[in-house]
Amino acid sequence: MPARLIESLATTELLADVFSDSSVLQAMLDFESALARAGAREGIVPKNAAKSIAQAAKAEDFDVAELCRGTLRAGTPGIPLVKMLTQRVKSKDAAAAGFVHWGATSQDVADTALVILLRKSQPLIESDVRRLEQALRRAAAKHENTVMLGRTLLQPSPPVTFGLKAAGWLAAIARSRASLNAAFEEALLLQFGGASGTLASLGDKGIAVARALAQELDLKLPEAPWHTQRDRLANLVCACGVLTGSLGKIARDIALLMQGEVREASEPGGDGRGGSSTMPHKRNPIGCAVTLAAAQRVPGLVAGFLSCMVQEHERGVGGWQSEWPTMAGVIQSTGLAAASMAEVAEGLSVDTARMRENIEATRGAIFAEKAAMLLAAKLGRSAAHKILEDAGREGLSQNRNLADVLAERREAAAQLDRAALKRLEVPEEYLGSAEKFRAALLSSRKGNHSARKKD
């Protein structure tokens, strides 16, 4: 389903569908029907009753507006849901109605439904993150020798390669994806504890029913119910925050490279993408903008979730009730950022000629460090720094290349021969360990991936 208009810059269609009213409602109903089947497996719910409950647990037959009104009055969706489901079952099978929600509490329904929604979300995010990784890996390989300005504090600095930059992006995303997957794995657990988290109402059948329920829903069974222990969900939220931050870093870099004064890279366009309502010439970084919006939105949501971890005793008041919209916002924002950056990276245009032009436009100023190091070996660091500082100012004021200015300075020319001055401003000769770092980032990602698969 399409996203609501107010959320159109905050989710994808697929994730909007996961967190739609019908999807959330069906997740809760799936819990109730699975609970009935689990009870039947352990002999505490008649099989015919379990069948009747499952047949009635269809989201399309429920009034969502009525459920929302009831939720606001009850403080939990579980109470009005169970009432509505019971009525539906009773209309077809009066005897079965008494077994609806047998042994559970309202938070069991809400938490397990959330976990079901998270499970649906994981492969959607994973797919887009892997698309992004593949695109970045291609860029890192294709541009291993593409020189460009390094930029520190947004000012020109010694050259790097675009391959190294892309490899750095890739490595951060790969690390973030691994952490997110681990957090998902840890969080996808059944919640089933009954009133106080002891399943006392089921007597000595409690753990057996819990085990059967976990099997019915294909969820892992935790050591014990976790009604007020929200650390696993918090880890997932934090992992989303880190991934979204890594995605935002890429978006920021690309948006800056797209500036008209820079023009070293650009997002894919077409189909109304990146245009302006008033300026036909513009090609805006829309994928980057949407990703940056998510990266700015998610940290606040993460902080909000963490603040709600302090929950009272066996069942909290106000803490877990705040989590649904927060978690939905985090997951959908993370997924949107991943999908947006995958699209950007897959269609990214890199202007290698413009990258070299921007290096040359500095007239060698970015190689002042190189010249200073060459002179420092013979004149000392302080003297060399002073020479380059003066030469840099002169070159800037006279719009001349650094090498030409140094050639006219006796103290520099005496130490740097004509050949050294001629090669001073060749970017490929001042890349240091850039290629080794690029290769290490790529091979490290392979090694970590292989190790995880092997484990």
For residues 266 and 291, is the Cβ–Cβ distance under 8 A?
A: no
224, two tokens: 């014990």
Nearest to 41 by CA among 210, 195, 224, 201: 210
Report the catalytic residues.
Answer: 276, 315
- What are the DSSP calls for 384-395, one per residue? HHHHHHHHHHHH
From CA 378, how far away is CA 81, in angstroms rounded?
82
User: SS in 3 state form for 193-244?
Assistant: CCCCCCCHHHHHHHHHHHHHHHHHHCCECCCCCCCCCCHHHHHHHHHHHHHH
Coil/strand/helix, residue 152: strand
- Closest to 402 measured CA to CA, from 418, 421, 386, 419: 421
CATH number of 105-189+226-361+432-455: 1.20.200.10
CA distance 240 to 237: 5
3-state SS, residue 160: strand
For the chain, the domains span 105-189+226-361+432-455, 365-424
pLDDT at 249: 98
Query: Are 112 and 2 within 8 A, CB to CB?
Result: no
Total H helices, total E strands in the chain: 19, 4
Alpha-carbon distances, residue 75 vs 69, 79, 320 (angstroms):
10, 8, 11
| CB hemisphere CA count around 68 (13 angstroms) | 6
Which residues, in sequence order, are bridge partners of residue 265?
Answer: 350
Q: How many CB atoms lie within 10 A of CB 325?
A: 11
Distance CA 82, CA 93 (A): 15
Tell me how far apart the alpha carbons of residues 130 and 177 are, in angstroms, rounded to a whole number: 9
Q: How far is CA 334 from CA 17, 26, 229, in A?
A: 15, 23, 24
Report how far residue 216's alpha carbon sits from residue 57's, in angstroms, rounded to the nearest whole number. Answer: 15
The residue whose two tokens read 């079952």 is 89
Burial of 322 (0-12, 13-18, 19+ CB in 10 A): middle
Q: From 45, 35, 14, select the one nearest 113 (Cα to Cα).
A: 35
Instruction: Please report the sign of the dihedral spanned by the C-alpha atoms of residue 131, residue 220, residue 71, residue 228.
Output: negative
141: which 2 tokens? 């390989």
Distance from C-alpha of 230 to C-alpha of 79, rounded to nearest angstrom: 22
**Please, what are the averages of pLDDT over each run of 10 residues along the chain (455 residues)?**
85 96 98 98 97 97 96 95 97 96 97 98 98 98 98 96 98 97 98 97 97 98 97 98 98 97 90 51 83 98 97 93 96 98 97 97 95 92 93 93 92 88 94 97 64 43
pLDDT for the residue numbered 449:
46
Count of Cβ atoms closer than 10 Å to residue 347 Cβ: 15
Q: Is the pTM of this model over 0.85?
A: yes
Helix H, strand E, coil C: the string for 232-243 is HHHHHHHHHHHH
Residue of 455, 251, 263 lying closest to 354 (CA atoms) = 263
Q: Are 49 and 38 in contact (CB under 8 A)?
A: no
Contact 249, 175 (CB under 8 A): no
Place of tokens 């090694």: 447
395, two tokens: 């070159």
What string of DSSP letters covers 420-439? Answer: HHHHTT-GGGS-TTHHHHHH
Predicted local confidence at residue 272, as pLDDT: 54
Q: What is the dihedral of CA 384, 389, 391, 392, to 10 degrees?
A: 130
- Cα(164)–Cα(273) distance, integer angstroms: 28
Helix (H, G, I), strand (E, B) or coil at 349: strand
277 token code pair: 């309502």
